[in-house]
Amino acid sequence: MPVSPVHRSRKRWFLYAAVVAVFAAAVWYFAFRAKPPHNRPAMPAWAGNEYPPRIPVRTVAAKAQDLPVHIKAIGTVTPVNTVTVRSRVSGQLLQIAFEEGQRVQKGDLLAEIDPASYRIQLAQVEGQLRQNQARLSTARADLERIRELHSRKLVTDQELDAQQALVAEREGTVASSQAQVDNARLELAYTRIEAPITGRVGLRRVDPGNLVRESDTQGLVVITQTQPIAVTFTVPEKELQAVLEPLRAGEPLEVEAWDRAETGVLATGTLKTVDNQIDTATGTLRLKAEFANADDRLFPNQFVNVRLRVRTLQNAVVIPAAAVQFGSRGTYVYIVGADNKAAVRDVALGPVDGTLQAVTKGLTVGDQVVLEGLDRLREGRTVVVANEPAPAAVTKP
């Protein structure tokens, strides 16, 4: 059955009316309906009543002080002297006279080789020496008699020359025998192996009872001199003049050896020498520092962090390095003025020493530099300085 035009028009008006009603309800709900009050969290007393609230920060004052300038490097601890103790004669090892890891003095007995065969050899050459000395004494006595007879024209010149030659030959034989005796005594002395330097012995490499030879390359033990001890390290080529200028002027350059984590100083020494050429492969120069190492805190082949002091900045403006910010505008810090508002201050940085940063431009002594609370700061933001810890809350009974 066809729908009449009047019925179709009435349905369209009902649809329009429904859309308008829905729109009006939405406007009323979102625009005119009373919203419940927004309950903001209670602000602490130091934050005030303004919105946005003040930002708590901790500040430090820029101060003037002498700042040492260091060159940092990675170093290796090296003994001043290292000796591999070897036997200079062959024989059976009778005893070891040291404890592994013991500190020994120069001349201390380390080991002993069976001396029996060397004593026998010494006795043989001493006997040969006495025989040759007796023959020499006889030849000299004969020479005196021949000279007396020659003065009386009783012997010829040829007989005198022959006797003088015989005496010279016997003197040569005695000198050779004396050298053999000295050599035998030296070899006998070598059966006592003594420490050639003062230092600390390592682990022994041969046990008593073994046959040792002078040709053995591994040796009996290694002695390292650890007092004093050296640290070798390298610095970049660009730092060459900063090191050489005070060194040539005779100024002692202090060197600090720090542990791997750079949390503590192991020892303090002085720069000893500089290598005579730059390594072209790395563009670095090798340096050696010497440390007394009385407490043995430095150990051979240990890796350490080295800080070489090359100069000292007098009355430098310094702040904690953690206060320096880096951004597209360069290096800057936040300072707090008398109105308790944060302000950005561009700074030029100088050398850094540990946690202290020298500022060559942009700050004056006494400026309050923000150290903590930097993440929410903006130019002109009101802050509250909270350098002192807040008092603990009192719990009512």
pLDDT (0 to 100) of residue 117:
93
pLDDT (0 to 100) of residue 373:
83
Cα–chain center distance at 289:
9
Q: Which residues pair with 236 in a beta bridge?
A: 284
Among 337, 314, 313, smallest CA distance to 385 is for: 337
18 residue type, one letter: A
DSSP annotation string for 77-139: EEES-EEEE--SS-EEEEEE-S-TT-EE-TT-EEEEE--HHHHHHHHHHHHHHHHHHHHHHHH
Say which residues have a Cβ less than 8 Å from residue 178's Cβ, sequence separation at least 6: 129
Per-block mean pLDDT, blocks of 10 residues, the chain (397 long) = 55 68 69 53 51 80 89 93 94 94 94 95 95 94 91 88 93 95 95 94 93 90 94 93 88 92 92 92 94 93 93 89 89 89 90 86 90 84 74 41
Cβ distance 310 to 240 under 8 Å? no
Say which residues have a Cβ less than 8 Å from residue 364's Cβ, sequence separation at least 6: 62, 317
Name the pTM for this structure.
Answer: 0.66
Tell me the HSE value of 384 on the side-chain side, using a 13 A CA sphere: 16
Percent of the chain scoring above 90 in pLDDT? 57
Domains of the chain as residue ranges with CATH: 55-67+315-385 (2.40.420.20), 71-80+225-312 (2.40.30.170), 84-113+196-220 (2.40.50.100), 115-190 (1.10.287)
Cα–chain center distance at 92:
43
372 residue type, one letter: E
pLDDT (0 to 100) of residue 7:
55
pLDDT (0 to 100) of residue 395:
40
Determine how many CB atoms are found less than 10 A away from the CB of residue 313. 17
Q: Which residues pair with 211 in a beta bridge?
A: 92
Say which residues have a Cβ less than 8 Å from residue 194's Cβ, sequence separation at least 6: 107, 108, 109, 110
Q: What is the 3-state secondary structure (H, E, C) of 232-271?
A: EEEEEHHHHHHHHHHHHCCCCCEEEEECCCCCCEEEEEEE
Cβ distance 90 to 213 under 8 Å? yes
- Token code pair at residue 98: 């040291």
Average pLDDT score over the chain: 86
Indicate the length of the chain as a whole number: 397
